[in-house]
Amino acid sequence: MGGNMKKIIVVGNGMVGFKFCEKLHQADQEKNFEIQVFGEEQWPAYDRVHLSSFFEGKAKDELLLAPREWYENRSIELLTNTLIVQINRNLQVVIDHLGNKHQYDYLVLATGSSAFVPAITGVEKKGVFVYRTLEDLEALKSYASHCKSAAILGGGLLGLEAAKAALDLGLQTHVVEFAPRLMARQLDDQGALLLKTKMEELGIQIHLQKTTSEILGNGKLKGLQFTDGSFLEVDMLIISAGIKPRDELARKTGLAVAPRGGIVVDDHLKTSDPNIYVIGEAASHRGLIYGLVAPGYEMATQVVNQLIGKEVKPFEGFDMSTKLKLIEVEVGSFGDALGETPGSKPILYKNKTKGIYKRVNISADGKRLLGGILVGDTSQYGMLHQFFQNHMALPPEPEDLILGNRGGKSAQGFGIDALPDSAQVCACENITKLHLCQAVQEGNQNISSLKECTKAGTGCGGCLPMVNDLLNSELKKLGKAVKTTLCEHFSYTRQELLDLIKIKEIKTFRALINEFGSGQGCEICKPVVASLLASTWNEPIVKHQHIQDTNDRYLANIQKGGSYSVVPRIAGGEITPEKLIVIGQVAAKYQLYTKITGGQRIDLFGARVDQLPDIWEELIAAGFESGHAYGKSLRTVKSCVGSTWCRFGVQDSVSFAIEIENRYKGLRAPHKIKGAVSGCIRECAEAQSKDFGIIATEKGWNLYVCGNGGSKPQHALLFATDLDSKTCIQYIDRFLMYYIKTADPLTRTATWLNKLEGGIDHLREVVIDDSLGLGEELEREMEFLVNTYSCEWKEVVENPQLRARFKPFINTEEPDSSLQFEPLRGQKIPSNWV
């Protein structure tokens, strides 16, 4: 070590300690500092933000922020499995658990926090865990293999993360919270109630206003006793009730510690000893502990700036806004979320059908956004947060912030370009709009390059949608063609990935992401790739068990209360008496709720997941097939009785509907597809509200395309007239394959056509006139899918390995006893329905 070189010791090698090392190495161009890092865990720094992905199959090495070689290549000495137990401030020495002494010039404490464990009688029993480190998770996972149920103590952010882990482990999951609502610091009563409802629909039982008085069991946990006298029997307990700053070193050495914990720091993050800094969750700044990674990163940056002599601004606190996905539910909260500012006025939007709740709080004068809450849909979070953070002027109708465009200019119309250059887009790395725009102009013109250059989006990842919007905006300004990539893991569109899968004959998600992507994938790309693989090779989607959504995983729609639906295909609505009898027998045997659908089928509701293979075995034996009611695929082709029975019918609509439905059954697409065939212009089958509709004429069939019902209905457009049956099918083949090849994920045919350059005229040119020369290729690809069709449920029933996946718990064959029903009009419904 040179005479002028200063030695920095960092105690703690979590995410914030790692970020400090990374920032100091980047800034220390003249090599004035030697860095030594101590971590008490056996691993280098890892990603605690996405720790729950460990239960989704991600390996420990994949969670590492950097391998050991990263430290070695930067001459940073990393000592893992080493606990610092003492600080001698006079000698400027730290002492590790082996008694070794280490000299420092400056000491940075990044000791973080530990799980807060309430003083409950019996907390030491076997089966009680905390949810904090990789070691905790390994122990928890091992113990869970012998359990059926788990309770999570705590209904905040950490508690709901732990609940997801318990679900991923196949456990019957309970969340116990002493407050009257979940996420009490981030959500109001209505938002929390919606979140609770969504959690319960996924099978998680929520227990509010419960205080645990004792953990019962003879050495081993058996259940929780509550102060109100009630008892909850569970096999294991995960305590996730908050954090406790790791300030024991500071206490021992006489540094100032806050009354409620945390090492006291000033606005320059210095302790009462000017040579000792504290960053992250161990620091108490103006009486506050910051439990998110973004403020810890900002602290690390400011300490680095001080050490290298760069002019710094005081640390004045941090915005604790957050956006995340909790167990399939999107949640966002920012600013004064609960409307506690005097004079603030709330604007609320609630859609119970779609499970969406939005609230924004505006100032008394209506000029400023003070905060807000989003549950079920956080797509507006980025811009709303920017309105709040940058004190942007509100639109004339502030409700447009959450209601969208209602004929005039909406808040979304202000767009990304309206943000000031100083707008902080990435809070974790403190990256501004100007920084990102300059990086794009300097040549970083795809999302991977932009992330690598600026580090934006590499922390919690919540800013990535806005980073992507900025990238596209800047590319357009530079005259570049903007390519809409699927997600951060693939720098390709859905259409390009479809071509790559075909050209390279790729059959698995892992092979695709290894060759053409990065990372492990996400909830955006995994279901899309599952659909693409099914669309291309026509293999049952259940074979891709790790990449589909819940409905595809179990080939059934999950319903309220955690049970599933069974929907056999009834092509054209035609069914024999014998098959009707079988449906009735199955419904009676398994006590299923039955209902005739608008698509001329019979829904059977209330099946347990372990019952699904048995139910389908009986239905398949009777000649039924999967109705694909769970998939982004063809649902039904509805028909009237046509010329067979109706005195007005001019064509046999039932026969044609059956032929059409049997041709396209199982066809995977960007979104669900519905069709209909009407036997005359009276239109009893409602063909003009379908993705493709066929109406009989005296000369043949009129074909309509790109309609849909639902919340935003759109009439189908007349595509071609007086077609014979063969030509009509040829056009539908080409139309559907062109849609599958070119539409974005989760885009209905109506929306696809609205965005298609040239609209219906272009579509006619491609399908009828074959303007692109694709006609034969589109027909050939459709013929392959038709000829290789197989019933997904038949494969499951006949394959013991696939069939074995249909059980509620990974470690027992017992059914899920948590499902609860109640009677209604002679049938059963979920007990929480009413």
Chain centre distance of CA 720: 41
- Please tell me the predicted confidence (pLDDT) of residue 303: 95
- Please tell me the predicted confidence (pLDDT) of residue 660: 96
pLDDT-derived band at 34 (thresholds 50, 70, 90) equals very high
* Gap between the Cα atoms of 341 and 361, Å rounded: 9
Lowest mean pLDDT segment, chosen from 229-233, 405-409, 410-414, 614-618: 405-409
Average pLDDT, the chain: 88
Of residues 709 and 677, more confidence is placed in 677
Q: Which of 158-172, 321-335, 818-832 has the highest mean pLDDT?
A: 158-172
- Name the one residue in this structure whose structure tokens are 């900025």: 470
- Please tell me the predicted confidence (pLDDT) of residue 453: 87
The pTM score is 0.60
Query: Looking at residues 357-378, what average pLDDT do you find?
Result: 90
**Residues 555-574 pLDDT 10s:** 888 776 778 889 899 988 88
* Gap between the Cα atoms of 72 and 41, Å rounded: 18
- Please tell me the predicted confidence (pLDDT) of residue 428: 76
* Gap between the Cα atoms of 51 and 162, Å rounded: 10
| CATH architecture of the domain formed by 6-114+245-307 | 3-Layer(bba) Sandwich (3.50)
- Please tell me the predicted confidence (pLDDT) of residue 637: 95
Is the CATH number 3.30.460 carried by domain 554-626+791-826? no
Task: Classify residue 599 by its DSSP letter.
Answer: T
Query: Looking at residues 447-471, what average pLDDT do you find?
Result: 80
* Gap between the Cα atoms of 639 and 683, Å rounded: 9
> Does residue 414 carry a pLDDT above 60?
no
> Does residue 636 carry a pLDDT above 90?
yes
Angstrom CA distances, 437 to 116, 242, 441, stand at 42, 38, 6
Angle made by CA atoms 11, 15, 19, in degrees to the nearest 5: 80
**Residues 686-706 pLDDT 10s:** 999 999 999 999 999 999 999
Of residues 75 and 404, more confidence is placed in 75
428 marked as binding residue: no
Count other C-beta atoms under 10 Å from residue 347's C-beta: 18
CA diameter of the chain: 103
**Residues 528-559 pLDDT 10s:** 888 888 888 887 766 665 555 667 777 888 77
- Please tell me the predicted confidence (pLDDT) of residue 546: 54
Three-class SS state of 306: helix
Angstrom CA distances, 620 to 209, 570, 602, stand at 47, 12, 15
Angstrom CA distances, 681 to 2, 10, 685, stand at 92, 79, 10
- Name the one residue in this structure whose structure tokens are 């089966």: 127
* Gap between the Cα atoms of 403 and 401, Å rounded: 6
> Does residue 405 carry a pLDDT above 50?
no
* Gap between the Cα atoms of 381 and 395, Å rounded: 16
- Please tell me the predicted confidence (pLDDT) of residue 746: 85
Lowest mean pLDDT segment, chosen from 33-42, 154-163, 272-281, 465-474: 465-474
The torsion angles phi and psi of 157, rounded to 5 degrees, stand at -55, -50
The full DSSP string for 683-752 is -TT-GGGSSEEEEEETTEEEEEES-B-TTS-BPPEEEEEEE-HHHHHHHHHHHHHHHHHHPPTT--HHHH
pLDDT-derived band at 651 (thresholds 50, 70, 90) equals very high
Query: Looking at residues 642-661, what average pLDDT do you find?
Result: 92
Query: Looking at residues 247-254, what average pLDDT do you find?
Result: 94
Can you give the C-alpha Rg of the chain in angstroms?
Answer: 30
Fold classification of 117-241 (topology level): FAD/NAD(P)-binding domain (3.50.50)
pLDDT-derived band at 97 (thresholds 50, 70, 90) equals very high
Of residues 277 and 158, more confidence is placed in 277
> Does residue 125 carry a pLDDT above 60?
yes
Pinpoint the residues of the chain covered by CATH 3.50.50.60. Answer: 6-114+245-307, 117-241
| CATH architecture of the domain formed by 633-790 | 2-Layer Sandwich (3.30)
Closest residue by Cα to residue 209 from 241, 175, 178, 240: 178
pLDDT-derived band at 483 (thresholds 50, 70, 90) equals low
3-state secondary structure string across 360-372: EEECCCCCCEEEE
Give just the sign of the alpha carbon dihedral 557, 559, 562, 565: negative
The torsion angles phi and psi of 584, rounded to 5 degrees, stand at -65, -40
- Please tell me the predicted confidence (pLDDT) of residue 409: 36
> Does residue 138 carry a pLDDT above 50?
yes
> Does residue 341 carry a pLDDT above 60?
yes
CB 725 within 8 A of CB 656: yes
Which pair of tokens denotes residue 138?
A: 């390994």
> Does residue 834 carry a pLDDT above 50?
no
Query: Looking at residues 335-340, what average pLDDT do you find?
Result: 91
646 marked as binding residue: yes
Count other C-beta atoms under 10 Å from residue 469's C-beta: 17
426 marked as binding residue: no
- Please tell me the predicted confidence (pLDDT) of residue 548: 54
* Percent of the chain surpassing pLDDT 90: 51
- Please tell me the predicted confidence (pLDDT) of residue 544: 62
Pinpoint the residues of the chain covered by CATH 3.30.413.10. Answer: 633-790
CB 536 within 8 A of CB 529: no
* Gap between the Cα atoms of 166 and 168, Å rounded: 5
**Residues 197-229 pLDDT 10s:** 888 888 899 999 999 999 999 989 999 999 999
Lowest mean pLDDT segment, chosen from 82-86, 196-200, 392-396, 807-811: 807-811
The full DSSP string for 630-683 is TSSBEEEEEE--HHHH-TT--S-HHHHHHHHHHHHTT-B-SS-EEEEEESSTT-
- Please tell me the predicted confidence (pLDDT) of residue 545: 55
* Gap between the Cα atoms of 54 and 48, Å rounded: 10
728 marked as binding residue: no
* Gap between the Cα atoms of 786 and 780, Å rounded: 10
CB 264 within 8 A of CB 26: no
Chain centre distance of CA 411: 25
Task: Classify residue 2 by its DSSP letter.
Answer: -
Pinpoint the residues of the chain covered by CATH 3.30.70. Answer: 554-626+791-826
Query: Looking at residues 748-772, what average pLDDT do you find?
Result: 92
The torsion angles phi and psi of 802, rounded to 5 degrees, stand at -65, -40
Query: Looking at residues 221-247, what average pLDDT do you find?
Result: 93
Dihedral, 688, 691, 696, 701 alpha carbons, nearest 10? 130
> Does residue 484 carry a pLDDT above 80?
no
- Please tell me the predicted confidence (pLDDT) of residue 549: 60
